[in-house]
Amino acid sequence: MASTAASAPKLVLNRRAWRVLALTLLVALAPGAKAQDGDRDPPTRAARVVDVIGDAWLFDHDTREWVRITRNQTVAEGDRLRTDDRARVSLRAGSTTIWLDERSDLELSQLDEDRTLLQLDRGDVAVRLRTAENAAETRLRTREGTAQPEREGLYRVEQLDRGTKVYVWQGRMRFDWARGAMPVSMGTGEQVELWWPDSPRAERGPLYSDGFGDWVLAESREEGDRPVARYVSPEMTGAEDLDRYGRWETAPDYGPVWIPTTVVVADWAPYRYGRWVWSRHWGWTWVDDAPWGFAPFHYGRWVSWGGRWCWSPGPYVHRPVYAPALVGWVGGGTSVSVNITIGNRPPPPRFGWYPLAPREVYVPAYRHTPRYVSRINDPRDLRDPVTVQRPHRYREVPAAVSVLPAPGAGIQPLPVRGPDRKPDPGWVRPLPVAPGRGDLAAVLPALPTRAVDAEPQRRVPRTPDGNMGWRSEGQVPVRRDARGPEMPAQLPPAVANTVPMPAVQQPAGLPMRTGQEPAPRTGDNMPWRAQQQRDLQQRDQQQRDMQQQREAQQQRELQQRRDMEQQREQQQQREMQQQREMQQQREMQQRREMEQQRDVQLQREMQQRREEQQRREEVQRRAPQPEPQRQIEVPRAPAMQPQPQVQPRAQPRDEGPQRGRQDGVPTRGDRPRDPKQQER
């Protein structure tokens, strides 16, 4: 009894010592765990929700609820997506496109610079890989194993109740069993159903058509291989929409800048038309309403240049680091001052933000390392002390600051007062870090959620309906012959702009489905809500506006080409006219030269004639002249009979006796007479 009493205090002392020792160990290990936790950086890659049809949900790990997702929302590593009946989702991570069918459950188990691992719990998922690099790092996991693409192409994986079905539209894929069996390889135009009842089974066959497959092929053809501007990397998520919705120019101080051409709102500013969504990796993340509103709000900086807002992507990086929102935060006061009003002036907003300009350093409010800050910013800006100490350019610009004026209200520009339109003092006080989840959530509109226990509608057999393009158990699949003439035998070096559609053939003895799946963007029999209809109409209006702008741009370019052609023709005509005038001048000059040559030749010939005439005359003068013959009168005999007297002929004047010249030159009268006349 005494021994027991003596041992009791010793036992109490041991327990107390143990508690003190445990507390000491916890205190000692806490800084190390905190330092180890602080050394981890958030993901540098993220996926974008390109389009949502119907109701799709994202699981919130903090609140344990399902939150409805919308276009341009960010999906990251560890996020889980779920689609309801008649719902579909398309994602984009860099240059890789991911499509999710109705009644599907997909988890992005890994999404970083090393690997993309998609865990499919049920439903269908399709991926399009555009580079060999993306194919080497992408995996699709099901209950039966892992599908690994071996080259770029278009693939689909379906999780069935009894196994896995893999479709290869283009490319080549290998399936590794989870239980260690030999892998199964499949090529273009094949589909393989894999299950494990008691041993690995693989049933091969040609491709079959259904609603989801037709939709994926149509979406793949529609997006094609749109080129990305040379100023950014194709692995920048959302970069594929830049050239369609804007144009590039070069600013002297900022280099290449992108200018949106579809903005029609007068007071538009970056980070104003959209909403804030909480992410467990980055905190408050911006979701923009514009169809192009992803890359310009998660990479680069915004600048007001030339009277317009322009996006500066910064230096070229193959895989840039994703940021939730490159903004600076301001606040108008504490919660007490919000309820105080002076006269008719409204209370200052609690939170506001403005876009960061080029060469301004972004300091994340979430967990990060110095290496992460160096990657998400330009290292040259971090080393520049002037840049680090420079005040933010747009903090005092009311047109650039956006605020939440009241709980549940929409985002508005910063209020101004007075003729100089300056904000009230104290409304743009800088905040050291971004607001916490509870602070900003108190003034944001509530988002639709669903309890974690709520499950999507279960698959129920339905009767075949030719007008319904959605997959169901009662629908007989239409067989597509993978060996048709339009299916390529081998995958080309790069995925073609359009995936070829195999020829449709009807299996013997099976009813043919009469209707094809309607295009989700042009309206079908799915129950659209009013907001979705408005979004669809707005999207169609934007597309029509874009088409009109493209047509106007084409007309302007055509008119410019015509004007240039006319200018070229006029220039050619002027050049031809000048050539003709020069030719005429040359011909006239040649004629003048020829006339001058002829005149010189004539003068030379005349001179020669004169000289010849003078020579002849000189020769004639020098030649000896014959002496004139004297007439000898012969005396006539006296006539015997009287003869009639003959009348003498009249002597011409030129034949009369003339006196010779003294110089001895005979005259006409001295010419020798005709011998016959002399005989007379």
Give pLDDT, residue 38.
45
CA–CA gap between residue 641 and residue 460 (Å, rounded)? 181
462 pLDDT band, cuts 50/70/90, is very low
Whether 428 shows a pLDDT value over 90: the answer reads: no
Whether 170 shows a pLDDT value over 60: the answer reads: yes
> What one-letter code names the amino acid at 28?
A
pLDDT in tens, 126-146: 999 999 999 999 999 999 999
443 pLDDT band, cuts 50/70/90, is confident
pLDDT in tens, 566-600: 888 888 898 999 998 999 999 999 999 999 999 99
Whether 526 shows a pLDDT value over 80: the answer reads: no
Rounded to 5°, angle at Cα 162 from 198 and 179 = 45
Give pLDDT, residue 194.
94
Give pLDDT, residue 433.
81
Q: What is the mean pLDDT of the chain?
A: 77
Count CA atoms closer than 13 A to 274's CA, side-chain side: 25
Give pLDDT, residue 503.
35
C-alpha dist (Å) from residue 455 to 88, 450, 527: 16, 9, 19
Whether 256 shows a pLDDT value over 50: the answer reads: yes
Whether 358 shows a pLDDT value over 80: the answer reads: yes
Reference 283, options 237, 323, 341; nearest CA is 323
Provide the β-strand partners of residue 275: 287
pLDDT in tens, 618-662: 888 887 766 666 555 655 655 565 555 555 555 555 544 455 545
- Would you say how long the chain is, in residues? 680
Judged by average pLDDT, the poorest of 97-106, 417-426, 574-583 is: 417-426
For the residues of 149-210, what is the DSSP string, one character each?
ESSSEEEEEEE-SS-EEEEEEES-EEEEETT----EEE-TTEEEEEE-SSS-EEEEEE-EE-
Whether 391 shows a pLDDT value over 80: the answer reads: no
Give pLDDT, residue 182.
92
Cβ neighbours of residue 383 closer than 8 Å, sequence gap 6 or more = none
For the residues of 235-297, what is the DSSP string, one character each?
TSTTGGGHHHHEEEEEETTTEEEEEES----TT--TT-SEEEEEETTTEEEEEESSTT-SHHH
Q: What percent of the chain has pLDDT over 90?
A: 41
Judged by average pLDDT, the poorest of 211-220, 301-310, 439-448 is: 439-448
| SS3 state at 441 | helix
Whether 519 shows a pLDDT value over 50: the answer reads: no
Whether 496 shows a pLDDT value over 50: the answer reads: no
The rounded radius of gyration (Å) of the Cα atoms in the chain is: 52
Is residue 99 within 8 Å of 303, Cβ to Cβ?
A: no
